[in-house]
Structure 1
Amino acid sequence: MSFRVIVVPFLNVEAMALFPFILVKNKEMAADKTLINHELIHLKQEAELLVIPFYILYLLNYIANLFIYRNHNKAYLNIVFEREAYRNEKNYVYLKQRGLWFWRFCF
């Protein structure tokens, strides 16, 4: 998968996958293998859902989680796309063995 890392100093988070780019807060984060792998998993999720539907499902899942957990951090960490990315961010061959829509199994 082809991607480009862009440093965005005013970013409010460490990194963000915004298809087809990975945005990072600083150059050090661009060198963080685990962080980049996490964001690559998101790029794969975005691509397989044709980008816009990914963002819609991501937002809907977050809103539903806010009602369930009543806490931003818990809501964020329980988004199915984040669960898949966090579970596999240190598995650097994950994307080679990952099947289509594996985020479905992260409920």
Structure 2
Amino acid sequence: MGKRIIVTPFLKVSGMALYPFILISHQALLADAVLINHERIHLRQQAELLVIPFYILYLLNYLINLAIYRNHQKAYLNIVFEREAYARETNLNYLKSRKWYNWIMYF
């Protein structure tokens, strides 16, 4: 998995999953197992939705949430994909037992 993690100093967030890569903003974040797990959950979500539909659903969910909450942070935190990733990021074994399309439970 290490070969698929790329340090990108210009990144404005700590981490981001762009299938099949994880981008992180600082070398030190390679040691942040929770962040890496969070992004690995997103990679799994992206793979099960065949990548492009994931990004479409992610954006649509964000825009709907933005209309509801009128707040970027609340809209972002309530994206179903983020809700799953944040809820399970500390369980480093989560992906071993995660069922396909489990993000649907976070609607």
Instruction: Tell whether the structures are fold-level matches, with TM greater than 0.5.
Output: yes
Structure 2: which 5+ runs fail to align? none
Aligned partner of 2:47 in structure 1 is: 47
Taking the TM superposition and a 5 Å limit, the aligned residue runs for 1:1-107 are: 4-107=4-107
State the Cα distance separating 1:2 from its structure 2 match: 8.4
More helix by share: 2
Structure 1: which 5+ runs fail to align? none
The residue identity in structure 2 corresponding to 1:39 is E
TM-score (norm 2): 0.97
Q: Deviations over 1:69-103 (max 9, x none)?
A: 00000000000000000000000111011001000
The residue identity in structure 2 corresponding to 1:88 is R
State the Cα distance separating 1:30 from its structure 2 match: 1.6
TM-score (norm 1): 0.97
Change (3 A) 1:3 1:67: farther
List, as ranges, runs of 4+ consecutive aligned residues in structure 1 with deviation greater than 2 Å: none
The number of residues matched between the two structures is 107
Q: What's the RMSD between the two structures over aligned residues?
A: 1.3
CA distance in 2, matches of 1:103, 1:37: 15
